[in-house]
C-alpha cells in the first residue's frame, strides 16, 4: 500500500516529500521509514526501481535462446528481444528508471543497475557460450556487452522522454546488438 501510494505521489511530483507520501497513505512518516529505511524518498524510488526491473531478466531470457548462428535468425531473434525490452520500458513509463539515480538521492539506483547489468552480462555470456563457444577473452566481451546495455538504457530513456520515436529506438538498439555479436565480439576474440 505504501509503495503504491508513493507511485501516485512521487511520480507526478518528484519534489514531494516523505511526509507527503505518509499523509496520502494515511500512515505516519515513521511507519514509511520503518518499511523503507534510509531517510527521505530515495528508498521509495529504490523500491519502485526494483519492482520495475524485476521482470527484465525473464523478458531477456525467453528470446535469447533463439539466437543461433544463422545471421537472419540472429537478427530476427534480436529484434524480438529489443521489441520486448522496449515494450517493457514503455510499460514502466518512467524515464528516471533508466538513469543513474542521481536525481533521487538514497535510491541507490546506480548500484542497482550495476547488479542488474552483472546478471544480464552473465546471461548473455552464457548464451554466447551456448552458440559460439566459451569466449577466449571473457573480460573484453563482458565489457563490450556492458557498454551495449548502458547504451540501451540511454536509448530507452530518450524514448520515454519523447526525444526519439519507437521505430528509431528499436532500429538503433537492434543494430547495435547485431554489430556487437557479428563484428565487435569476433574482433575482440581474434
Residue 136 has pLDDT above 70, yes or no: yes
Half-sphere exposure of 23 (CA within 13 A, CB side): 7
Q: Write down the pLDDT at residue 171.
A: 96
CA angle 117, 17, 39 (to 5 degrees): 60
At residue 4 the predicted structure's pLDDT band, cuts being 50, 70 and 90, is very high
User: Which among 143, 141, 172, 144 has a CA at the least distance from the CA of 156?
Assistant: 172
What is the pLDDT of the chain when averaged over all its residues? 85
∠ CA 33-8-112, rounded to 5°: 60
Which position has the higher pLDDT, 62 or 115? 115
Does residue 79 have a pLDDT over 80?
yes
What are the pLDDT digits (tens) for 11-34? 888 889 999 999 999 999 999 999
The pLDDT confidence band at residue 186, using thresholds 50, 70 and 90, is: confident
Q: How many CA atoms lie within 13 A of 134 on its CB side?
A: 1
pLDDT of 3 above 90: yes
List Cβ neighbours of 152 (8 Å cut-off, separation of 6 or more): 85, 173, 176
Residue with cell 555470456: 125
Q: Report the sign of the C-alpha dihedral through residues 73, 75, 81, 84, in that order.
A: negative
Given this model, what pLDDT does residue 9 score?
Answer: 92
Provide Rg for the chain, Cα atoms: 19
Rounded to whole angstroms, the Cα distance separating 30 from 48 reads 19
Measured between alpha carbons, how far is 110 from 90 in angstroms, rounded to an integer? 20
Q: Above pLDDT 70, what percent of the chain?
A: 88
Amino acid at each position: 500500500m505504501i509503495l503504491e501510494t508513493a507511485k501516485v505521489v512521487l511520480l507526478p511530483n518528484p519534489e514531494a516529500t516523505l511526509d507527503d507520501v505518509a499523509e496520502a497513505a494515511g500512515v505516519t512518516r515513521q511507519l514509511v521509514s520503518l518499511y523503507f529505511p534510509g531517510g527521505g524518498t530515495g528508498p521509495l524510488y529504490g523500491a519502485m526501481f526494483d519492482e520495475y526491473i524485476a521482470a527484465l531478466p525473464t523478458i531477456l531470457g525467453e528470446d535469447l535462446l533463439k539466437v543461433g548462428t544463422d545471421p537472419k535468425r540472429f537478427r530476427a531473434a534480436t529484434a524480438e528481444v529489443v521489441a520486448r525490452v522496449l515494450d517493457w520500458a514503455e510499460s514502466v513509463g518512467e524515464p528516471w528508471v533508466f538513469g543513474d539515480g542521481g536525481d533521487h538521492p538514497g535510491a541507490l539506483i546506480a548500484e542497482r543497475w550495476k547488479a542488474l547489468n552483472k546478471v544480464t552480462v552473465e546471461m548473455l555470456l552464457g548464451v554466447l557460450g551456448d552458440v559460439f563457444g566459451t569466449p577466449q577473452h571473457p573480460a573484453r566481451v563482458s565489457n563490450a556487452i556492458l557498454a551495449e546495455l548502458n547504451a540501451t538504457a540511454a536509448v530507452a530513456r530518450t524514448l520515454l522522454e519523447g526525444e526519439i520515436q519507437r521505430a528509431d529506438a528499436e532500429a538503433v538498439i537492434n543494430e547495435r546488438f547485431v554489430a556487437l555479436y557479428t563484428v565487435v565480439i569476433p574482433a575482440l576474440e581474434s
